[in-house]
Amino acid sequence: MKDIVYLDNSATTKPCKEAVEYMNKAMCDSWGNPSSLHTIGITAEDILISCKEACAKALSSRPDEIYFTSGGTEANNIAINGALLARAKQGNRIVTTAIEHPSVAEVINSFEAKGFEVIRLSPQADGKISIEDLRCAITKSTILVSIMLVNNEIGTIQPVKEASAFIKEVGAPAILHCDAVQAFGKLPVRPSALGVDLLTASGHKIHGPKGIGLLYKRKGLHLPALTFGGGQQENLRPGTEPTPLIASLEGAVRALPATATQLKKMSELNAYAKKQLAATGIVTFNSPEDALPYIINISVPGYRSETLLHFLDAQGIYVSSGSACAKGGQSPTLDALKLDKKRIDSALRISFSRDNTPEDIDRLCDALLRATQKLKRA
């Protein structure tokens, strides 16, 4: 039996062998400054070129559309700040959802405070925003649409492609940004097929290292510089590129199994999990049927999230509390779904990676049953 059952892969994943090896090699053998003109520099620059190629292949895009950032948060910040600065003169409306990650929501809030009009679409009962609402929200004065592809709390897939069609239909000057941090490497993510101008992904959610993310920027779209420096990465993100992290990201991307096959495997694991969890008789499901199979959000009514989390922790099983504790904190998605407070208070997020097995699910279900036998109801 494995020592630990790690089921919190939407928070972060364990770095894969390739990610570690690539980083090690970059630090030992290719430690130059990629901007240097000499051979040592060129060897380091090869890392950038090679990683861009790998990422471009994964996104079916071009290598010169890939920019490296310090992670999803920075990529979202560059995308939204840049897009709004670029389009500020052409309109005043921002369309987004009520369930974005804080690194999107907070940037948009800061523009709302400066006088921009923000439309935040709330999810319907199925966890998705309504296509009709989306169509109505996008007007000729819309300059930015930012929609996440997969929600980080319940795994619902949002209608990003539709947004791109509506922007064209209306003739809005809007730039379309998509936070695909929870989708990259799990779903087929093709910016050109989705019709997005900007797309965010992160390394540590796909068994890569923390501290590296990427921003896809459609060729031809110009964003103003927000940070000033030595001109690296076309000034979109200046500063000497972190080659060890970039190499490691490449290792992780190259190690990604074919998306379609992996998605099928994950659907089977998800189905097994749902069956076994339902069989315990103590669980209600917060994730809708058609959510990304990597994420299942459940509630165990009568038991606080944090209590369950610590109980599972003591058995070597690691999940995330779907909501914060009685002392505060928020779960934007579960709140937006207007679930009953007791259900929110007892929510757990179980998130898979390719390393999980049906035995992990069995151990989780056993432990949950034991928790309800042993713990006092709140």
Partner 1 sequence: MKEIILIKNGELALKGLNRSTFEDTLIKSLKLSLKACGECTIRKAQSTIYIEPKDDSFDFEEGLDRVSKVFGIAAFSRARVCEKNIDDILAAAPEYLADTLRRIKTFKVEAKRADKRFPLTSPEISAQVGGAILSAFPHLRVDVHNPDEIITVEIRDFAAYIRAGQLPGAGGLPVGTAGKAAILISGGIDSPVAAWTMAKRGLKLDAIHFASPPYTSPRAEQKVKTLLSKVAVYSGTIKLAIVPFTEIQEKIAAECPEEYFTLIMRRMMMRIAERIASYHKCGALITGESLGQVASQTLPAIGVTDCVTNMPVLRPLIGSDKEEIIKISRKIDTFETSCLPFEDCCTVFTPKHPKTRPTPQLCEQAEAALHIPELIEKAIAETEFTYID
The binding site for partner 1 (CB under 8 A) comprises 304, 306-311, 313-314, 324-329, 375-378
Q: Smallest gap, in angstroms, from Cβ of residue 308 to partner 1?
A: 8
Nearer to partner 1, 287 or 323 (CB): 323
Maximum Cα interatomic distance, the chain, rounded to a whole number of Å: 67
Q: Which is nearer to partner 1, 8 or 306 (CB)?
A: 306
Nearest to 265 by CA among 358, 191, 340: 358
Residue 325 appears among annotated catalytic residues: yes
Name beta bridge partners: 118. 94
3-class DSSP state of 93: strand
Residue 45's contacts (CB-CB under 8 Å, 6 or more residues apart) are 34, 35
Q: How far is the CB of 51 from partner 1 (least distance, A)?
A: 36
**Residue 78 near residue 237 (C-beta atoms within 8 A):** yes
Hunting for tokens 């790690």 — which residue is that? 6
Nearest to 116 by CA among 98, 95, 93: 93
Closer residue to partner 1 (CB): 89 or 327? 327
Task: Compute the least distance from the CB of residue 309 to partner 1, in Å.
Answer: 8
Nearest by Cα to 352 from 58, 71, 11: 11
Instruction: Pick between residue 170 and residue 375 the one whose CB is nearest to partner 1.
Output: 375
Q: CB nearer to partner 1: give 278 or 324.
A: 324
Supply the minimum distance, in Å, between the C-beta of residue 327 and partner 1. 4
Select which of 16, 55, 136, 325 is catalytic: 325
Nearer to partner 1, 56 or 348 (CB): 348
Structure tokens at 254: 């190259």
SS3 annotation, 215-255:
EEECCCCCCCCCCCCCCHHHHCCCCCCCHHHHHHHHHHHHC
Cα 212 from Cα 241, distance rounded (Å): 10
We find the least distance from the C-beta atom of residue 305 to partner 1, in angstroms, to be: 9
* Sheet containing 284-285: order of strands: 284-285, 295-299, 347-351, 320-321
- Residue with Cβ nearer partner 1 (178 or 317): 317
* 319-343: burial string, b at 16+ Cβ within 10 Å, e else: bbbbbeeeeeeebbbbebbebeeeb
Closest approach, Cβ 347 to partner 1, in A, equals 15
Residues 50-54: contacts with CB within 8 Å, 24+ apart? 50/250, 51/246, 51/247, 51/249, 51/250, 51/253, 54/250, 54/253, 54/254
In whole angstroms, the minimum distance from the beta carbon of 279 to partner 1 comes to 24
Residues taking part in catalysis: 325
